[in-house]
Amino acid sequence: DTAVSQTPKYLVTQMGNDKSIKCEQNLGHDTMYWYKQDSKKFLKIMFSYNNKELIINETVPNRFSPKSPDKAHLNLHINSLELGDSAVYFCASSQDGTSGPYNEQFFGPGTRLTVL
């Protein structure tokens, strides 16, 4: 069974469109994350949620809106896509609480977003 899954794996879209990426974890973890990995492989945190509550919201444009319907799911919606949004987006989860990232994180396979 896949521990952290993301859909879709590939997403190609035009500038200005709105798209969503879904993430689900079956590990029973309380905390989930979204990361962005750019073309140089630099990985940066975007958001984290603990038990459906937003914990971390880095300096990400407000075109990006995470939504956590329950603690096993954390979806990422992106409005008005721009060329610079092209990247690989990773979802992750961990058993961490709100005190900090003190345990290992489990990553999904990634969603490669290409904005044309």
In whole angstroms, the minimum distance from the beta carbon of 91 to other proteins comes to: 9
In whole angstroms, the minimum distance from the beta carbon of 84 to other proteins comes to: 19
In whole angstroms, the minimum distance from the beta carbon of 16 to other proteins comes to: 28
Whether the Cβ atoms of residue 115 and residue 68 lie closer than 8 Å to each other:
no
CB nearer other proteins, residue 16 or residue 61: 61
Catalog residues that contact other proteins under the rule CB under 8 A: 4, 33, 40-45, 48, 55-56, 58, 90, 92, 98-110
Helix H, strand E, coil C: the string for 49-102 is EECCEEEEECCCCCCEEEEEEECCEEEEEECCCCHHHCEEEEEEEECCCCCCCC
